Structure 1
């Protein structure tokens, strides 16, 4: 059986590439902690929905899982490397950290954090 982070990342990329803020919000728990590129962490699906509604519709993403972990049967997570493509400018390379919780049959994102990948430190 595949680790749930693979499905979570796939769902995130799919919702991002469709520019579907509602589908993106549904990937998260109702009380999710969210730290995107904004200056402050936010909480909840409404904040996630608003964040992704503000992303330009011409952006696309691709990514791969780097590391996974599990804490019992209902908590899992890990790290992914994601590239956000901008057709008119530079690409953004980020590391994405996710903590997932099982809610019924579904895995949802409980904690989300991205940080830029810096080249040549």
Structure 2
């Protein structure tokens, strides 16, 4: 894991980001669309496996509603993190999604913002690794 800090940071932010990361995987795998959408800002953007840019929590919820019932995170290591400041972080990781037993390797980046003391995804990009 690589963590680059722009300036001295309170390391508790990183443990909070680790908790956020674990929560994202949990709700993705639970298929709880409301809990999943709640991890994004109201005006979040997502570029995923479809050509359209998803803008807003409702659109992002709809995007995740379209995945198959067997799609889950098989492996999502704690991502590389760059702290921009105390309230903005950028992450990048290789993620293995799976549809049943078929692996779907992806690259995922997030821009997270601290919103009322809680981390939320403001920008999410996922693309097949190939």
Instruction: Provide the TM-score with structure 2 as the length reference.
Output: 0.83
Confirm whether residue 116 of structure 1 aligns to residue 128 of structure 2. Answer: yes
Deviations 1:44-86 (A, max 9, x none): 1001110111111222103013411111111012102211111
Confirm whether residue 106 of structure 1 aligns to residue 115 of structure 2. Answer: no
Confirm whether residue 75 of structure 1 aligns to residue 88 of structure 2. Answer: yes
Q: 1:56 aligns to what SS in structure 2?
A: coil
Q: Which moved more, 1:51-60 or 1:107-116?
A: 51-60
Confirm whether residue 34 of structure 1 aligns to residue 46 of structure 2. Answer: yes
Q: For this pair of structures, how many residues does the alignment match?
A: 117
| Other-structure match for 1:95 | 107
Cα deviation for residue 92 of structure 1 reads 0.6
Structure 2 stretches lacking a partner, 5+ long: 1-11
Confirm whether residue 22 of structure 1 aligns to residue 34 of structure 2. Answer: yes
Counterpart of 2:71 (choices 34, 59, 65) is 59
Cα deviation for residue 2 of structure 1 reads 5.6
Q: 2:126 aligns to what SS in structure 1?
A: strand
Please tell me the root mean square deviation across aligned C-alpha atoms, in Å. 1.5
Structure 1 stretches lacking a partner, 5+ long: none
Deviations 1:72-106 (A, max 9, x none): 11101210221111115x31111110000001121
Distance 1:9 1:92 in 2: 19
Which stretches of structure 1, 4 residues or longer, exceed 2 Å deviation after superposition?
A: 4-9
